Amino acid sequence: MNDKMKKIKISPIRKGTVIDHIRGGQSLKVLKILGLTDVEIKDVVSIAMNVDSSVGKKDIVKVENKEISSDELDKISLISPETTINIIRDYEVIKKERVKLPERGKGIVRCRNRNCITNQKEPVEPEFKVISSKPVNIKCVYCEREMREEEITENLL
């Protein structure tokens, strides 16, 4: 076993979530999605950035006492589709799954077209369809404006 094959060790957590295979450099955005950029956080949060992996650089985020909502999972899948979620109970991984790009999403990404009905004072929630996954590309269902990865990241709600 060479050095690269060794498992990454971040302090274990009893209960929480390990978010692995985040695209290198995207972990801070994941923290933001999870609302963990507050100064009030009391739970343990560990971050490893730009760790070597078989598919290039990756980030890892470990969060104690956190369950990720389906909206949060959808947002993470949009900015880092290869991410895996590991649910920890009593220091063991009890569930491991890859995030899945939704076919559509409502209320999670703002349309970047300022004239779109979803950006007016109408009670219309932004909604998109995923039109490609590599790279991620989505399209507003109202005005058909397309958004690519960086635009999605900038417009996450």
Kindly list the residues in this chain that would bind Zn ion in the complex (CB under 5 A): 111, 113, 116, 140, 142-143, 145
Of 75 and 142, nearer to Zn ion (C-beta) is 142
Beta carbon of residue 58, minimum distance to Zn ion (angstroms, whole number): 32
Q: Which residues contact 90 (CB under 8 A, 6 or more apart)?
A: 14, 15
Of 19 and 136, nearer to Zn ion (C-beta) is 136
Of 61 and 140, nearer to Zn ion (C-beta) is 140
Beta carbon of residue 110, minimum distance to Zn ion (angstroms, whole number): 9
Beta carbon of residue 77, minimum distance to Zn ion (angstroms, whole number): 20
Measured torsion, CA atoms of residues 64, 22, 55, 131, in degrees rounded to the nearest 10: 140
Q: How many CB atoms sit inside 10 A of residue 71's CB?
A: 15
Q: How many CB atoms sit inside 10 A of residue 115's CB?
A: 9
